[in-house]
DNA sequence: AAAGTGTGTAAAGAAAGTGTAAATTTTTAA
DNA sequence: TTAAAAATTTACACTTTCTTTACACACTTT
């Protein structure tokens, strides 16, 4: 079940590079050099994500983005732009883009952002996940340990889902902050994340001091065992 | 997903040796004895890299290189030449070659440069890298030696990743400092780097006193074998 | 051969990261 | 408005990691 990505950019070289790299990372890719071409493609099939250059020969990216949001609010959009002014960045996000990458961009960074965005937007396909004696019912939002229901606070539940969706991978504090805390500003020296991790451990781990699921990766972040 | 390399040289013996060695290292190889033949191949399929002899019967390598750069700027080029004059070397790089190897060359050196060049140009991070009995899982940040998990400290892990990403190339202490220690100021006479190298060796080498992977290049720095 | 340079290595003090409890602030719900 | 719940801050202990230092040894140069 590959995710399909539509990339819209007037620079054919960029399109070529993007297509190659995205396909290498397991995505199916449609490319369009103009907004007109993109619209044609959109009528035939819906992508799971759109990567949109803000500067196109036949339309203003900002307007296009706003339009897309109205037409297909469920498709996440990542904006590409040569401009790096903060005002643009803010505007891009305000009109509904999910992320914003400034050209020239590191391909790897873009790939990472695409992955993060897709996980964020279409996070869970299963209704429930069972890992060891831990069970999470995403529909009912019920977490059980050894069949016993566990009461989690909203933040704790979000954290747990986040880790389960990214199980196996190391999640650094900055990524956690960006995903769970989003725009609410947290000082870099804040220990909020660590404290919540402790709370979660106390609720889902048998021996919170020797966690089996929610592991510490010293100097890097945390990782959920799978 | 093998990388495809087009080698262009009028010496059939060299072509034969190169093809054999490159294929041994996991590349797919096309060969051409002339620029005309090379162009034919280029029309049918795009290689990931071109190794080009500067002396060809039917064209000047310098001109060809310039032409290739214009037509397919994304394909890296390594020039081969019998001449070892500095002026040629400078010119070769100025007209857009990515590297330059003087004949007669050590096959191993060429292989190393090809690897370095490809990594530089398409820095696609794999999820894991296996070198001998050493395995690094970048997503999980887990390092195993002969299947046994090895616990590395943050600095040690960063160092190892750095060396693996630049395997084959000599890394001098200043480059290491700039990459791993970044802005944290370290006195030029500090032995921190050496000490960490020792620690790493003790964790990943079978015989830390006779390292197999993380080699010392006296007077220059360290180099990770591949 | 002696001096000088560069690297290997062990040990110890300094620094940083993390676990954890408790206090405080903010949010939510009645 | 008030009480409970949740989120966040704070402080400190403990552990791990980093860095320095000192000296041994090998290799080069004079």
Chain A residues in contact with chain B using a Cβ-Cβ cutoff of 8 Å: 13, 16-17, 21, 24, 107-108, 168-170, 217-220, 223
Q: Looking at the structure, tell me whether residues B79 and B48 fall in a common domain.
A: yes
User: B194 beta carbon < 7 A from strand C?
Assistant: yes
Distance of A143 CA from D17 C1′ (whole Å) = 36
Report whether B127 contacts B137 (CB < 8 A). Answer: yes
Q: Looking at the structure, tell me whether residues A111 and A135 fall in a common domain.
A: no
For the packed helices B154-165 and B192-204, what is the interaxial angle rounded to 10 degrees?
A: 80
Q: Looking at the structure, tell me whether residues A135 and A113 fall in a common domain.
A: no
Report whether A7 contacts A30 (CB < 8 A). Answer: yes
| pLDDT at residue B30, rounded to an integer | 92
Q: Looking at the structure, tell me whether residues B77 and B110 fall in a common domain.
A: yes
Q: Looking at the structure, tell me whether residues A85 and A143 fall in a common domain.
A: no
Q: Smallest CA–CA separation between B133 and chain A, in Å?
A: 22
| pLDDT at residue A95, rounded to an integer | 54
Domain membership of residue A211 as a residue range: 128-224
Q: What does each of the 226 residues of chain A score in pLDDT, given as a tens digit?
A: 678 899 998 888 888 888 888 888 888 899 998 888 888 888 777 788 889 887 787 877 777 877 776 666 567 788 887 654 444 444 444 455 666 676 666 677 688 778 767 765 555 466 788 899 999 988 788 999 999 999 999 899 989 989 998 888 899 998 888 888 866 677 778 899 999 999 999 999 999 999 999 999 999 999 998 7
Q: Looking at the structure, tell me whether residues A8 and A115 fall in a common domain.
A: yes
Q: Looking at the structure, tell me whether residues B114 and B94 fall in a common domain.
A: yes
User: Pick from B68, B85, B120: which residue ends a domain?
Assistant: B120
Residues in chain B with CB shorter than 8 Å from the CB of A219 are: 153-155, 157
Binned at pLDDT 50, 70 and 90, residue B158 comes out as very high
Residue A41 to residue B21: CA distance in whole angstroms: 45
Q: What's the pLDDT tens digit per position in B160-169?
A: 999 998 888 8
Q: Which nucleotides of D are covered by protein (CB under 7 A)?
A: 5-11, 16-22, 27
b/e A190-200 (16+ beta carbons within 10 angstroms → b): eebbeebbebb
Q: Looking at the structure, tell me whether residues B199 and B219 fall in a common domain.
A: yes
Q: Looking at the structure, tell me whether residues B134 and B72 fall in a common domain.
A: no
Q: Smallest CA–CA separation between A94 and chain B, in Å?
A: 32
Q: Which nucleotides of C are covered by protein (CB under 7 A)?
A: 6-11, 17-22
Q: Looking at the structure, tell me whether residues A9 and A108 fall in a common domain.
A: yes
| pLDDT at residue A83, rounded to an integer | 52
b/e B185-204 (16+ beta carbons within 10 angstroms → b): eeeeeeebbeebbebbbebb
Binned at pLDDT 50, 70 and 90, residue B213 comes out as very high
Q: Is the overall model pTM greater than 0.75, yes or no?
A: no
User: Pick from A120, A141, A164: which residue ends a domain?
Assistant: A120
User: B221 beta carbon < 7 A from strand C?
Assistant: yes
Provide the CATH number for the domain around residue A55: 3.40.50.2300
Q: How many domains does chain A have?
A: 2
Q: What's the pLDDT tens digit per position in B106-120?
A: 777 788 788 877 776
- Looking at chain B, the whole-number percentage of residues with pLDDT higher than 90 is 36
Contacts of A141 by beta carbon, 8 Å cutoff, 6+ apart: A157
User: Pick from B120, B142, B175: which residue ends a domain?
Assistant: B120
Residue B52 to residue B100: CA distance in whole angstroms: 10
Residues in chain B with CB shorter than 8 Å from the CB of A108 are: 123-125
Residue of A nearest to B123 (CA): A108
Q: Looking at the structure, tell me whether residues A108 and A22 fall in a common domain.
A: yes
Distance of A110 CA from D17 C1′ (whole Å) = 33
Binned at pLDDT 50, 70 and 90, residue B62 comes out as confident
Provide the CATH number for the domain around residue A150: 1.10.10.10
CA B183, B189, B193, B195 torsion: positive or negative? negative
Q: Looking at the structure, tell me whether residues A74 and A171 fall in a common domain.
A: no
Is residue B100 pLDDT above 90, yes or no?
Answer: no
């Amino acid at each position: 079940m590959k995710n399909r990505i539509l990339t819209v950019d007037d620079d054919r070289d960029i399109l070529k590079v993007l297509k190659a790299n995205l396909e290498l990372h397991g995505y199916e890719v449609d490319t369009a050099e103009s907004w007109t071409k993109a619209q044609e493609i959109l009528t035939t099939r819906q992508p799971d994500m759109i990567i949109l250059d803000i500067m196109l020969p036949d339309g203003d990216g900002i307007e296009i983005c706003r339009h897309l949001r109205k037409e297909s609010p469920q498709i996440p959009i990542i904006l590409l732009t040569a401009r790096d002014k903060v005002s643009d960045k803010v505007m891009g996000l305000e009109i509904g883009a999910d992320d914003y990458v400034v050209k020239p961009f590191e391909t790897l960074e873009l790939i990472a952002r695409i992955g993060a965005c897709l996980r964020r937007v279409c996070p869970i396909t299963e209704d429930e996940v069972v890992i060891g004696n831990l069970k999470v019912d995403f529909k009912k939002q019920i977490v059980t340990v050894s069949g016993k229901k566990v009461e989690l606070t909203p933040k704790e539940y979000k954290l747990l889902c986040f880790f389960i969706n990214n199980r196996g991978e190391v999640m650094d504090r900055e990524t956690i902050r960006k995903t769970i805390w989003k725009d609410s500003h947290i000082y870099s020296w804040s220990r909020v994340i660590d404290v919540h991790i402790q709370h979660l451990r106390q609720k889902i781990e048998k021996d919170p001091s020797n966690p089996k699921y929610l592991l510490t990766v010293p100097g890097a972040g945390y990782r959920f065992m799978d």
